[in-house]
Amino acid sequence: MVVRSDEALAESNLMDDAEPLWMDGRYVFPEPSHNFWRAGPFLVMDCGGTWIGWNAPAVSLPPALAANVQTIHP
């Protein structure tokens, strides 16, 4: 599942214990444009918005965060 969550993530505690994986990454553009963190079972990406992904059917977003996201791919 992948969801987009720009403002909702800042209001949640999902990132409190997040582990940086790839910060200020250069992927397509010459300047840094990508940041990735691991937050428990979630992969969080900041690139033109905030994206949250996970691949565990038994896992779901915290209710306060789930109410304010846009599902990209179920």
From start to end of the chain, where are the E strands? 2-4, 19-25, 34-39, 42-46, 50-53, 70-73
Write down the pLDDT at residue 19: 95
What's the mean pLDDT in 6-28? 81
Question: Structure tokens of 7?
Answer: 């403002």
Q: Where are the domains of the chain?
A: 2-73
The confidence band for 11, taking pLDDT boundaries of 50, 70 and 90, is low
CB atoms within 10 A of CB 64: 12
Q: What is the pLDDT of residues 39-64, one digit of tens each?
A: 989 889 888 778 888 888 888 887 77
What's the mean pLDDT in 19-47? 88
What is the residue whose two structure tokens read 């992948």? Answer: 2
pTM of the model: 0.77
